[in-house]
Amino acid sequence: MTSLKFNILILGFVYLTQTAAQDAQFWNSMAQENLKKNLQKQWNTNIAKNVILFLGDGMGIPTITAARIYKGQQQNETGEESKLVFEEFSELGLIKTYTTDEQVPDSAGTATAFLCGVKTKSGVLGMDDRADYKNCTSSTGAEVDSILRMSKQKGKSVGIVTTARLTHATPAAAYCHSASRSWEGSYNLIQDMVDPLCTDIAYQLVMNNSDIDVLMGGGRRFFLSTNKTDPELNYTSYYQRPDMDLVDEWIRQKQADNASHSYVWNNAGFNAIDPKVTDYVLGLFESSHMQYEYQREKGPSGEPSLAEMTKKAIEILQKNDKGYFLLVEGGRIDHGHHATQAAAALLETVMFDSAVQVAKEMTDTDDTLLVVTADHSHAFMIAGYPSRGNDILGTVDEEVGEDDMPYTTLTYGNGPQQRRNLTGIDTTAFTFRQSGVVPKSSETHAGEDVPVYAQGPMAHLFVGTHEQNYIAHVLAYASCVGPYPGRCDSPLSSVTESSASSVIIPSLLLSISLFLSLL
């Protein structure tokens, strides 16, 4: 105990000497600027013509804090004072992520909640709790529609961009109804001997959701037929389809509709897309997930970043006068964490943030609601007493564990790597695995609340602690789609000045119309 107290004392002293310029005036004026800004804050009760939902897969609060420090340190700052782009959004709330059957959720149950507005079981996509995991029969009649589908029904353009497979849990909940997130392609249905009544996720994307304007991500293997050689792998993946080729089918549909379209699978194709004259895009940039940023090839045969895909998607979608809904997923933050490769997860988070930056620059807070959230957290920690500015990927400076071995500031509650002597090991490498306490082949999700950041029309509705399915309802209400058309048709919708009553009256009308629709 005394040595701990002594260490704190030493660290306190180091801190004070390093930050001498940050005197009382420094902190007081910073706080006063913040106070002034918040005193001027007004509610934006406009209609959200456009909605962009950014989903950092597995991006819990420890990830956000560590990524902010990482981002600052990449710019040679101490890091702690740095800010991610979305941390400047005007509103913030907390989201409860449990599913109907699990305290700590998976990405399918959570995606169904924030996209379709209802909680369901872990592993289930686009269906309510009546559906049982992997039970095709029980899923009939349990289908629920997503905010993407509702937006399309209102004549908006819609898009999905992700660094994961387009058939992976988060994007899939935007368009499919599947009793299992693992039924990504026909291969998986054959393996699980699924009733032919149920179709796979890639099939549903092309055959039942051909109206989605922009689709970009990985997962090509679930679309290509077994007759084709994957153009990047130069072999046929065993996940490819024996039944049909969904890329050829997508192109055939667009040609039949005389729709301007582009199928691309690398940067050369991606860069050649002219958003002014292209209405439909199918981009399948990898056989499986897209590359981690640290491994991404940026040349013509490589693939675009999440920010580049987001920019192209907005350029295409914004041609629609009725507006658009776009889902942007940073899908590989989660994968870095599962492998306890914190550097990879943090770089993915910073890249996700740069996609938010692009969208923020291209849109107007008057008519576009930007929302940033996570589906769930990870068993990830920032701990020890590292001094100010200590490398976030490094070991805690001037201190070792009771076992006399150095330890990293970033650790995991569980995972594949056990505690070991880190002397002489580069803990900042992208392939370095931080240790986890409980041995697990893959590190797990965590169950604490995740934040939701928002700016633009109705962003203030996120303030507070909410169930995760509430998110889809706010998106629908703000943009007047799905069960909430009323606000836009009412003359009150033109009220834009900031006052409590301008919100209370429409919500009163909403309650009345909801009540009437229940009768």
75 binds ligand NAG (CB under 6 A): yes
Contact 133, 123 (CB under 8 A): yes
Rounded to 5 degrees, φ, ψ at 314 are -65, -40
Q: Which is nearer to ligand NAG, 127 or 317 (CB)?
A: 127
Dig out the tokens for 10 from the structure. 């030493």
Long-range contacts (CB closer than 8 Å, 24 or more residues apart) made by 500-504: 500/43, 502/43, 502/45, 503/43, 503/45, 503/460
DSSP for 351-411? HHHHHHHHHHHHS-TTTEEEEEEES-EESEEE-S-PPTT--TTSBPTT---TTS---BSEE
135 binds ligand NAG (CB under 6 A): yes
To the query of whether residue 107 is one of the catalytic residues in this protein, the response is: yes
| Terminal-to-terminal C-alpha distance of the chain | 66
Minimum distance from CB of 351 to ligand NAG (Å)?
16
Q: Which is nearer to ligand NAG, 127 or 461 (CB)?
A: 127
Say which amino acid occupies 456: G
Q: Which helix (H) or strand (E) holds 283?
A: strand 280-284
Q: Which is nearer to ligand NAG, 221 or 460 (CB)?
A: 221
Mode of pairing for the β-strands spanning 214-218 and 157-165 = parallel
423 binds ligand NAG (CB under 6 A): yes
Rounded to 5 degrees, φ, ψ at 510 are -60, -45
Minimum distance from CB of 242 to ligand NAG (Å)?
6
Dig out the tokens for 315 from the structure. 């350029």
Query: CA angle, 386 as apex, 381 and 389 as ends, to 5°?
Result: 105
Interface region with ligand NAG, contact rule CB under 6 A, candidates 147-155, 331-339, 366-374, 420-428: 420-428
Minimum distance from CB of 132 to ligand NAG (Å)?
6
Q: Which is nearer to ligand NAG, 7 or 135 (CB)?
A: 135
Q: State the catalytic residue, choosing from 90, 107, 182, 479.
A: 107
Among 57, 91, 128, 132, binds ligand NAG (CB under 6 A): 132
| Rounded distance between C-alpha atoms, residue 152 and residue 167, angstroms | 19
Question: Which of 269, 253, 282, 453 minimizes the C-alpha distance to 353?
Answer: 453
Minimum distance from CB of 143 to ligand NAG (Å)?
7
- Residue numbers 255-274 binding ligand NAG by CB under 6 A: 258
Helices 201-208, 246-256: inter-axial angle, 10-degree rounding: 10
495 binds ligand NAG (CB under 6 A): no
Q: Which is nearer to ligand NAG, 225 or 502 (CB)?
A: 225
Q: Which is nearer to ligand NAG, 136 or 306 (CB)?
A: 136
Interface region with ligand NAG, contact rule CB under 6 A, candidates 243-251, 303-311, 457-465, 466-474: 243-251
Minimum distance from CB of 208 to ligand NAG (Å)?
4
Among 14, 61, 92, 207, binds ligand NAG (CB under 6 A): 207
Binding residues vs ligand NAG (CB under 6 A): 75-76, 132, 135, 137-138, 207-208, 225, 227, 234, 243-245, 258, 404-405, 421, 423-424
Q: Please identify every residue annotated as catalytic.
A: 107
